[in-house]
Chains A and B, each alone.
Chain A
Amino acid sequence: MAEPKTSSAKTNDAPGADAISDDERKKNAQSIAHLGEFLRHYSPPREHKERDMLDDRYRINLASPLPLLSVQNATAYAVSDITTPTRQLFAHVCERGTFIRSNVVAMLNGIEHRSIIQMVAAGTVDLSRGDEERFVVVYERPAGQKLSAWLTQKKMSLNPHFICTHILAPLAAALQKFSELDISHGLLNPDNIYFDEHAMLGPCAIEPCGYSQPYMYEPLERMQAMQAGKGEGSTAHDYYALAVTALYVIHGAAHFAGLPQERLMQHILREGAYAALMRQQEVPEIFYDFFRGILTQNASDRWNDRQITPWLSGKRYNVLPPTLHIDALRPFEFGDTRAVTRRELAHLFAMNWERMVAMLQNNKLSHWVSISLRNKELAELIGRMSRTVTEPGTRTDAQISEALMNIVLLLDPQGPLRIKSLSMNIDGMDSLCVEMHAQMAHQNLQFLAGFIENDMVNYWLPLQTKRNPEYAPSSAVKAMLAKLDKLRSYIRNSGFGFGLERILYDLNPNMHCMSPLLAKSYIHTLPALLRQLDRMAPSIAGDDIIDRHIAAFIANKLAMQYEIRLNDLSAIPAMASNRNIVALYLLGLVQEKHPTIKVPGLTHWLAIRLLPLADAVHSRTLRYKVKGLIQDVAPQGYLQRMAEIIISSDYASTDKKGFQQAINRYQRNASEISALQMPGRLEEESSRMGLKMATSLAYMGMAISVLMVIRGIL
């Protein structure tokens, strides 16, 4: 039932409810029943969309799951191509709330490359199981098996030539293609490489870049970031993963045994990535250049296709093993640990955020930077920030956190942005935000909002340029900086359409709507949202058809920058602040953009909620008129027209003005009645009037008498 359970109660609670007669109440109930009757029988015309079918061509066989091809947030099912039944396909049916790398989907869809798993199609599918919509990506089924499984089965070690030609060369070719497309893979590891006669890169589009990538395949700056906040990065980290994969191929999984993430990070920070990952194990001489060129600490120094392709063709470079430059003359003592490099110290600070303030007392850090690092400029900067933190004053928590973050950033400009429990790369903020929303980590989200609002990121970019004058931000970073700039102008708004939810959709414009109301749908466009809400209208029993997620989703798509203030309704506060009226306004704007979509289900649902609200109008005549118009407009299915009646017309101000005039009039009348009924008033007035009349008569008599006498005399 779509009728609100509390409709009658609401009628009584409305400010104008005292004006409602029993007849009007009855009439209201009849109107609501009539509208409800329509909704009960309403079934919107369904788009001709066959279930379990993508693009009218790929049928997902939900009865045939493929566990070996399933990934963390998507189950794999066999797919049959109805035009080419012999094709071997599978589909990843994504879980709800999955972050889709839409740029990767857009780039890879249809690309044919022998070393990249072929993405055949992607889109939303109506699933027969669970009666819900999900995002689905269809791939060609890879031949062979996972590289990790194949290597396990293989008893003897592979010869270097085989590794180069059958594994590294195809993967390098795949990465070259990724590089050309200006995207990264992020999931290059033996569990996501399929091997038949040559290696083929597995899928990577349905999770944040590097989300499920094992830590050892990530360079330090990504390993230090939160899983969802690693960012898109560039193919530089894929080449790094390629080198680690090569180590895995050469030495097997045992090479990384006993190397948990924290220890590996410490090794990398102390010895550098090359030494930490090689673990003093010998590799065939042919690979010396390869590992020394790729396992570098700095991404800008790392080999890419320009060096790898010639190397695979036989060119040798005689690269020296990368050495780690020890920054400090004397270590910085942080508890029991001694840090000898800036990056190591930054890491220690980030891991022990609460203890960091104590380390800044007495300018200990700036002194160390000045003496041990012999960097006066940096020491001065750090000293200034340390004073911000340590000097007594009225610093807010956000200001202190910002200063601490800047100190960590100054020590390690290459590393991720680290602030309290958050650690992310700039281009990973979007996916991190999605993760936080999915996990309902409100505190972290508030923190992220503060981070954006206080423009903490503005410190990061100049540091990159200072560190490396040739630094050019990637397209993902540029896009993120632009998004943050835009967000900052209205992040403080907390009304409907703004707040934490708005941050989510502004950072991820291609994200589907994560509203719990749309749990069974995958809505990523406004027309789809309108149609879905219209479809759902008969079954929504509550009093809210849109929640903060839907409002933020709409506000993002409509690029709304100001909070919704229904000024025309300010005369009737009960209506101006009502969520259903705000919903009507928002959905009306959506329909204005897509006027071809009629939504009678939605208009009837809203009319049922708005009719009792109209009782807030004091004037009976206006109330009847408004109610009549709502009922007349509902069957048309145009929210915009309904919004024009309820929100835009001037009845509210007319009503307020008229009501005030009526009060004044009533007051005047009441005073006049009581004055007329005042005891003795009639006697007094009649006495006064009688005397006046009598005076007139008497003077008239006297005048006649005088005239007669004068006449007699004359």
Chain B
Amino acid sequence: MKTLFKILFIPLCIVLLLLLQFGFIFLLLALLPSLVAYYIDSHTKKTSFKIVFAGNISATIPALVPLLKANLHMRHIDTMSVFHDPSVWLFIYLGAAAGWCVIFLCRYIARLILGFSFNHRIRLLQREQKFLVAEWGDGIADNVINSRK
């Protein structure tokens, strides 16, 4: 998959360069946060990068569409106006930031959920252990200790 991506990456860039022309540089600049995320993410699956990229691209696509449309219809468009519009850059980088926020927020929520779940399970198991000892005697605990030794 990785190799396939690598093989397709350069033709894709050429296609995008042809389609977007000057807009390709815009795309490269817009996806800078994703590029940073790619190098920051130490996981093999690059999950953080994928999330940041998804946020980043989601915010970039709306700005990219007029450029793509114009080039497809052979119409001239002032690419520089897009470059000079700070709201576009803000929106694009906010998209990438949203990706990072989702990562940290979800991790926090997951921690809350799992923490509660773990504690509940431990309490249930400990209650069952107590019941087992009450019913079968301390011998079963001794057996466990001995078997571990």
Point out residues on A near B: beta carbons under 8 Å: 15-16, 18-20, 618-621, 658-659, 662-663, 665-667, 669-670, 672-673, 676-677, 681-683, 685-691, 693-695, 697-699, 701-702, 704-706, 708-709, 712-713
B109 and A702: CB pair below 8 A? no
Chain B interface (Cβ within 8 Å of chain A)?
47-48, 50-52, 54-55, 57-59, 61-62, 65, 69, 98-99, 102-103, 105-111, 113-115, 118, 121-122, 125-126, 128-129, 132-144, 147
A702 touches B57 (CB 8 A): yes
User: Which of the residues A662, A688, A697 comes within 8 Å of B136, measured between beta carbons?
Assistant: A662
24 residue pairs bridging A and B, Cβ less than 8 Å apart: A19-B139, A618-B139, A619-B136, A620-B135, A659-B136, A662-B135, A662-B140, A666-B129, A667-B144, A673-B126, A676-B125, A682-B114, A686-B113, A687-B107, A688-B110, A691-B48, A693-B106, A694-B47, A694-B106, A695-B47, A697-B102, A702-B55, A705-B59, A706-B58
Contacts known (A18-B139, A666-B132); A693 close to B110, Cβ less than 8 A: yes
Q: Are B109 and A701 neighbours in the complex by a CB distance under 8 Å?
A: no
Contact partner, A16, options B52, B110, B113, B139, Cβ 8 Å: B139
CA distance A663 to B136 in the complex (A): 9
Q: Which B residues lie within 8 Å of A16 (CB)?
A: 137, 139
Cα(A705)–Cα(B96), bound, Å: 13
| 13 other A-B residue contacts (CB within 8 Å) besides A19-B139, A663-B140, A672-B121 | A18-B138, A19-B137, A618-B137, A620-B134, A669-B128, A669-B129, A676-B118, A690-B110, A694-B103, A695-B47, A698-B102, A702-B54, A702-B57
- Nearest CB on A from B23, distance (A): 14
Given contacts A686-B110, A690-B109, contact A701 B136 (CB under 8 A): no
Q: CA separation between A620 and B134, bound complex, in Å?
A: 7
A102 CB, min distance to chain B CBs, angstroms: 55
Number of A-B contacts (CB under 8 A): 149
B140 contacts across to A, CB distance below 8 A:
659, 662-663, 666
Q: How far is the CB of B81 from chain A (nearest CB, A)?
A: 18
Given contacts A18-B139, A663-B144, A683-B111, contact A701 B55 (CB under 8 A): yes
Q: Pick from A665, A694, A706, A712: contact of B107, CB below 8 A.
A: A694
Docked CA distance A702–B55 (Å): 7
Look across to chain B and name the residue whose beta carbon is closest to the beta carbon of A700.
Answer: B54
Are A686 and B136 also in contact (CB < 8 A) when A698-B99, A701-B54 are? no
- One of B54, B65, B114 near A689 (C-beta < 8 A): B114
- B132 — which chain A residues lie within 8 A by C-beta? 662, 665-666, 669
Cα–Cα distance between A102 and B91 once the two chains are bound (Å) = 121
Residues on B with beta carbons closer than 8 Å to the beta carbon of A670: 129, 144
Q: Are B103 and A691 touching (Cβ within 8 A)? A: yes
Min CB gap B118→A, angstroms: 5
Q: Which 10 A-B pairs have the closest CB atoms?
A: A19-B137, A690-B107, A698-B54, A705-B58, A686-B111, A689-B110, A690-B110, A693-B106, A694-B106, A690-B106
Residues in B whose Cβ lies below 8 Å from that of A693 = 106, 109-110
- Contact partner of B61 (CB less than 8 A), chosen from A658, A689, A705, is A705
CA distance A16 to B142 in the complex (A): 12
